[in-house]
Structure 1
Amino acid sequence: MSRARARRRRGSARLVLAGLASGAVLLAAGAAVAHWRHTRPPVTDDQAADVADALDAAGRTDAPDAPSGSPSGRTAGPSGSPSVKASPSPSPSTVAVPATGPGTFVTAEADGSTVGTGSRVRRYKVLVEEGIDIRPSAAAAEISDVLADRRGWTRDGINSFRLVSSGSYDFVVKIATPGTVDEICGAYGLLTRGEVNCAVGTDVVVNLKRWVLGSPQFDGPIGDYRALIINHEVGHRLGHGHETCPGPGLPAPAMMQQIKGLKGCVANAWPYDRDGNYLSGPSVP
């Protein structure tokens, strides 16, 4: 066999082997993508509707038509609505809202205490993005106050809540800069556009802009607005779906998408009233 012919055969063999190797890499990559799509936490249909609604209410006309996350850029009670305890977080005028942050978080420390007497203990974490002017301990204290309030979900006599800093948990509240919220939510195909919050899997991702400045549609105490964020999203994690206004002049359910309009109801941040009556409304399909 001539040397030229032998070189051609060796070259052809190398091309075949390279092609087989490339095919194996592509198959492995495809399998990895399929596994990620199968195992990532789901985004529900009501979450998909929520982000578009919140972006519209914020004056953004480029909201997505399909998957979004559950926003909490929601309305809260008017000046006559009951408020949570005075916020331990810094006042809005003293907190800067940077466009983005490092994407790393500090977990609030927990002392193991539980709020509520229900036998179903819901374990949760509070995380705050590094570099922002909110102490994790202050955010956790405010969220714990909301969950402990007699008008909150502990009033059902079933659920109680325990702040944890490690181990298993039922949900996580993350407070993050607008850019980081966009990155976290965008990994699930959600377009928050630096404006609203989202809920993906077990995570409630709270936009720092909304936590500090409230909703563009909200003119009441910031504590009520934050209470509505927590109560609405925790309600979803307890299995509650969306509800609508039960009648003119009545309190809007905490599970109502109040940012879409109150439909004659009075804005309200709490699932129960002070007498322990559940503030419900007709279910939304």
Structure 2
Amino acid sequence: MTRRSGGLFAGRGIALPGLAVTVVTVIVAFALGLGTGWLSGYVPDAYRAWREGPSPSPSPSVSASPEVDVSLPPLEPITRELDEDDAAAGVVTTAVVTRGAGTFSSIPGITAEVDDAGPVRYVRIDVEDGVTLDNVALVDYVMTTLNDPRGWGSAGRLQFVLTEGAADIRIVFASPHTVVSRCPDPHIPATLSGGSATPEPSASATPMPSASASPAVTVPCAVQGIVPISVYDWTAGLATYGDNRSQSRVHLLNHGVGHVLGEPDVACESGRASVMVDQSQPLPEGCQVNEWPFPDADTSG
């Protein structure tokens, strides 16, 4: 008597080895079909990616910076005729723009250091786009003023050197709106006086801080090495100086640079005011205007 197999397929006339081969064949064919589809879809894409590089991804959208609510006092129209002093200071029009582009361009130019003329402070002069000035005359006026014997470099204390790059002092001529919004308080706190506010040289392409809705974290412009000068004040002159606009412009420069060098505002009780008296405001009775840090220095040499 022949013994039958007691397996799963026993009694059905099905041979196990033949079935196994069939199953394996089906699985292999299915796998090959999936692989062919995957390769036909992926390989051309991978090849294109290798040839063409990664596809650019969309840049994240940039939210607009918060605008500071600026309230400018009324600005009287400047109706006088321009004169030689205006030309020397780079003033070419009395039609002053109230608000410029908010971007800035550095005036090209480099001057050389002078041996034994004192420690160097590099100066960059920036003008807001949309503000019209004679850049050549402006640079000459600013640098001549800063290196005057009566200035902050008097008697070899400092020398000011013009640069287009990294600067210790950035003198920025801007529209009234930009000055108020970017430098609401251009003065230096008394706690930072004594030279401790002297900044590190900066090569920033943005010479004035961005407007911020968080004044609690605003760093004074002077601490950043910025001397903001309103083109309106530069053109019209400060009322305390009357028609002597040249003296007014010298004061604007020397007062602002004084803050960057670490000098705070001071008060005047009588006599000739210190250059660090805020002379944009009326002076107390008995005080006279003064635009120089060392007004009695010898200018004959």
- What per-residue deviation string (whole Å, max 9, x for no partner) do you get for residues 154-195 of structure 1? 1142211111101x211201111123223423626699xxxx
Note if contact 1:177-1:208 (Cα within 8 Å) is conserved in structure 2: yes
Q: What's the counterpart of residue 139 of structure 1? A: 138
Note if contact 2:122-2:167 (Cα within 8 Å) is conserved in structure 1: yes
Q: What's the counterpart of residue 127 of structure 2? A: 128
Note if contact 1:174-1:204 (Cα within 8 Å) is conserved in structure 2: yes
**Deviation of 1:117 (Å):** 4.8
Q: What's the counterpart of residue 53 of structure 2? A: none
Note if contact 2:237-2:243 (Cα within 8 Å) is conserved in structure 1: no
Look up the SS of the partner of 1:153 in the other structure. Answer: coil
**Inter-partner Cα distance in structure 1 for 2:156 and 2:150:** 12
State whether structure 2 residue 272 is matched by structure 1 residue 251. Answer: yes
**Inter-partner Cα distance in structure 1 for 2:111 and 2:284:** 38
Letter aligned with residue 169 of structure 1:
A
Q: What's the counterpart of residue 179 of structure 2? A: 181
Q: TM-score, structure 1 length as denominator? A: 0.57
Aligned residues: 188
What are the ranges of 5 or more consecutive residues in structure 1 without an aligned counterpart? Answer: 1-54, 61-83, 192-197, 278-285
Q: What's the counterpart of residue 270 of structure 1? A: 292
**Inter-partner Cα distance in structure 1 for 2:112 and 2:142:** 14
Q: Do the aligned partners of residues 236 and 116 (structure 1) sit closer, same or farther apart at CA in structure 2, a change above 3 Å counting?
A: farther
**Deviation of 1:260 (Å):** 4.9
**Inter-partner Cα distance in structure 1 for 2:288 and 2:146:** 22
Q: What is the aligned counterpart of 2:250 among 224, 227, 239?
A: 227
Letter aligned with residue 255 of structure 1:
M
What are the ranges of 5 or more consecutive residues in structure 2 without an aligned counterpart? Answer: 1-71, 76-84, 185-210, 216-220
Note if contact 1:87-1:223 (Cα within 8 Å) is conserved in structure 2: no
Q: Do the aligned partners of residues 275 and 159 (structure 1) sit closer, same or farther apart at CA in structure 2, a change above 3 Å counting?
A: closer
Higher relative CO (Cα under 8 Å, sequence separation at least 6) belongs to 1
**Deviation of 1:235 (Å):** 1.3
Q: What's the counterpart of residue 240 of structure 1? A: 263
RMSD of Structure 2 on Structure 1 (CA): 3.3
- 1:160-179 matches, within 5 Å, as 160-166=159-165, 168-179=166-177
Q: What's the counterpart of residue 96 of structure 1? A: 95
Look up the SS of the partner of 1:228 in the other structure. Answer: helix
Q: TM-score, structure 2 length as denominator? A: 0.54
Letter aligned with residue 119 of structure 1:
G
- 1:50-199 matches, within 5 Å, as 87-90=88-91, 94-114=93-113, 117-166=116-165, 168-185=166-183, 187=211, 199=222
Note if contact 1:181-1:205 (Cα within 8 Å) is conserved in structure 2: yes
**Inter-partner Cα distance in structure 2 for 1:179 and 1:239:** 26
Note if contact 1:231-1:270 (Cα within 8 Å) is conserved in structure 2: yes
Look up the SS of the partner of 2:247 in the other structure. Answer: helix
Letter aligned with residue 225 of structure 1:
S
**Inter-partner Cα distance in structure 2 for 1:149 and 1:184:** 29
Structure label with greater radius of gyration: 2
What is the percentage of aligned positions where both structures have the same residue? 29
Look up the SS of the partner of 2:293 in the other structure. Answer: coil
